[in-house]
Amino acid sequence: MAGLLSISEPHAGSPTDMNNQNDTNNDFLASLVSDATQAPKNVTEQYTREDIAQLFDLPLMDLLLRAQTIHRENFNPNEVQISTLLSIKTGNCPEDCGYCSQSGHHRDTTKLQAEKRLEIDKVIAAAKRAKATGSSRFCMGAAWKHPSAKDMPYVVELVKEVKALGLETCMTLGMLDTDQATQLADAGLDYYNHNLDTSRRYYEQVVSTRSYDERLDTLANVRNSGINVCSGNIVGMGESRDDRIDWVHELLKMPKAPESIPVNLLVPIAGTPIGDKVLAEGQLSVLEWIRTIAVARICCPTSYVRLSAGRESLSDSEQALAFMAGANSFFYGDKLLTTGNASQSGDDRLMRELGLTKQFAAPRAPKQVPVLDAMSGHQSRVVLAE
Ligand code: SF4
């Protein structure tokens, strides 16, 4: 990838040296913008692991410039997509994710109260509220290893009813086999979330009950079913920058980068193994999370990069930097699955101050069929009524 190796170290020197240095920096910045504007869309294979590492190493302002330039090439820079997340089955999850309050493995220390499946009418009522407040996508999460056979009619019904409200649908239900992914695709599910969380190397420090390859298998099943893929990470679990680089590289090794990439900042929860460790040893700098967002934006230029967990603890300025880095989606509402979120009124105020507007769900493409003209033999396409 051109341009990344030409960074000059800042140094003290004579005025002539300084002028030369400024010229060099200006040339470099111009090359960054030029590279960015000429970057082919939808092509991610051009970034090797070494390229990704060099992006992480860029001076922050150069990285932000490049990320923002690429962002502007692919999206309206002042528009954000807003999703609402609802837990439809909380707690007592059989998996042992070290950061999660919902894991049954940590329930003695987190004291999280498990709940049964939420009734369908309650989910629909929450979806209506989400739509009324400007969300374009409604995400439903269940603390399962995978949906059981008896859960499938329930989740299929939810997809159909939420879509009937005119909302995009997303689910995160654990692992999916091919048949389950097909059932959800047939119901019209728009997105399925399944995070890789971190690098393959660091993963064993995070989860032991589900393998990295099982995660990739689920993502492949989702991709093959035609559902859009949502897959992200959690920054600040004690992983190294190398792990963050490897996580981005994993996204690029997929046949197609996920359409949606949540970049979570760990919310350390007391009573979870990772939360307790981070609370004792200190949290990662927010700027490293912003770097991760910027690198994800550059490497996956047409994906939505989502601010997820961790936002409630951030200042307006830190969130503004995250949008500058190319984030263009966030969760709306006062609660994520079990952790707090930035308040909705606070989000509205921040969006006004930043001049951001809400992106509404893209209307479904009208169905078209090819029709041959009986006289001329020319083919044309006819739009069918819905
Ligand atoms: S992150 Fe998901 S799979 Fe892991 S313990 Fe929590 S609810 Fe279960």
Q: Where are the domains of the chain?
A: 1-38, 79-359
What pLDDT sits at residue 27? 53
pLDDT, one tens digit per residue, over 125-183 is 999 988 888 788 899 999 999 999 999 999 999 999 999 999 999 999 999 999 999 99
Question: Above 60 in pLDDT, residue 47?
Answer: yes
Q: Is the beta carbon of 95 within 6 A of some atom in ligand 1?
A: yes
Residues annotated catalytic, as ranges: 93, 97, 100, 139, 170, 230, 306
Question: Above 50 in pLDDT, residue 249?
Answer: yes
pLDDT, one tens digit per residue, over 55-112 is 999 999 999 999 999 999 999 999 998 888 899 999 989 999 999 998 989 988 888 8
Do 318 and 60 form a contact (C-beta atoms < 8 A)? no
- The CATH class, in words, for 79-359 is alpha beta
Question: Above 70 in pLDDT, residue 222?
Answer: yes
Q: Side chain identity at 41, as an amino acid letter?
A: K
Question: Above 90 in pLDDT, residue 331?
Answer: no
Question: Above 50 in pLDDT, residue 269?
Answer: yes
Q: With residue 371 as reference, give the H or E element that holds it.
A: strand 368-372
Question: Above 70 in pLDDT, residue 300?
Answer: yes
Task: Determine how many CB atoms are found less than 10 A away from the CB of residue 259.
Answer: 17
Question: Above 90 in pLDDT, residue 53?
Answer: yes
What is the four-CA torsion angle of 100, 101, 105, 109, rounded to 10 degrees? 130
Question: Above 50 in pLDDT, residue 338?
Answer: yes
Measured in degrees and rounded to the nearest 5, phi and psi for residue 242 equal -55, -40
Question: Above 50 in pLDDT, residue 290?
Answer: yes
DSSP sequence for 286-338: HHHHHHHHHHHHHHSTTSEEEE-TTGGGS-HHHHHHHHHTT--EEE-SSBSSS
For the chain, the average pLDDT equals 83
What pLDDT sits at residue 291? 97
Report the interhelical angle of 60-74 vs 286-299 (nearest 10°).
Answer: 40
Which residues, at least 6 apart from 203, have a Cβ–Cβ distance to it below 8 Å? 196, 197, 212
User: Which of 25-34, 321-330, 347-356 holds the top average pLDDT?
Assistant: 321-330
Closest ligand 1 atom number to CA of residue 105: 5
Write out the two tokens for 71. Answer: 């962002």
Q: Which of 89, 103, 109, 207 is the best mutation target for the ligand 1 pocket, counting ligand atoms within 8 Å of the beta carbon and taking the most?
A: 103
Helix, strand, coil percentages (3-state) for the chain, rounded to 5, are 45, 15, 40
How far does residue 148's CA lie from ligand 1's centre (Å)? 16
Q: Which of 85, 93, 145, 195 is the best mutation target for the ligand 1 pocket, counting ligand atoms within 8 Å of the beta carbon and taking the most?
A: 93
SS3 99: coil
How far does residue 291's CA lie from ligand 1's centre (Å)? 26
Nearest CA to ligand 1 atom 7: 143
pLDDT level of residue 2 (50, 70, 90 thresholds)? very low
Arithmetic mean of pLDDT, 258-267: 94
pTM for this model (two decimals)? 0.81
Question: Above 50 in pLDDT, residue 43?
Answer: no
Give the C-alpha separation, 381 to 370, whole Å. Answer: 4
| 76 torsion bin: left (phi>0), alpha (psi -120 to 50), beta (else) | beta
